[in-house]
Structure 1
Amino acid sequence: MAGGWWLAVRAGLAGHSARSRTGPVIGGILEHAGVTGFLGNREQLEASGDDGRDAELTFVETWWRMYEDMPKANMDLAYPSSACGDFFGIEGKTDRGVSTSIGSQLGKMRDRVIGDFMIQKVGRNWQLTRRSVD
């Protein structure tokens, strides 16, 4: 069994970069166990674009137009987050509630590249940095 598992893993890795190896490894293991079709609809899902990337990009572009790389508190980002519609799911009936909700969403996006931008935590504030285009 273990030998067959390793062959399935190696087959799943063939032709994939280090960055994209997780899916094929899991797929190889599942296929060896008799489960087929893992990530079979990946291309269709990626083509649909319905994963929030557009809303995130709208958010960071709006933020950049308003503040560029100036560090900002959660509440300063209420307008850019509202430009994304329901994607951010901002909740709260008070300013503090809204601020907490925005901070929670920013925490999920922290240190991730979104378009040409990256959201970083600077003390108690958030800062948007723009990657240089060479």
Structure 2
Amino acid sequence: MRLDTAFLIKFLQFACIGGVVFLFDASCFWLLIKLTGWPSLARVISVALAITLSWALNRALTFRRQAGRADWRELLKFAASQLPGACINAGASLLAFHSLPFTQNNAWLSTAVGSIAGLFANFIMANFFVFNKKNMTR
């Protein structure tokens, strides 16, 4: 099976944007833990904010050729498509935050664990279900 170069480049762009979103997500998670004292609530809010930023950056850069007109329906479709990856991300990061020795009580490292865990699911969903011209209904 031959690996499609365009697909690989798109994945790498998605991953790079994921790095930027990770920094934003981890910053929000850390700040919200400090403000609320509740890691679970902080994680839910930071993931929601990260999904919104990821949609904006990926539609403008990674999927610009496939993206339709930006509107709330596309954002909702993107957010819904990212829920499996977000659940993997949030679950892995909370598990790491509470139990892995090297990430325990460390918002930055635990968010990295979650981000890597959810990356592949998020890309597959965005590429094939949100920004796929065949699935566009406009």
User: What range is the shorter-chain TM-score in?
Assistant: 0.3 to 0.5
More helix by share: 2
TM-score computed with the length of structure 2 as normaliser:
0.36
TM-score computed with the length of structure 1 as normaliser:
0.37
More strand by share: 1
Larger Rg: 1
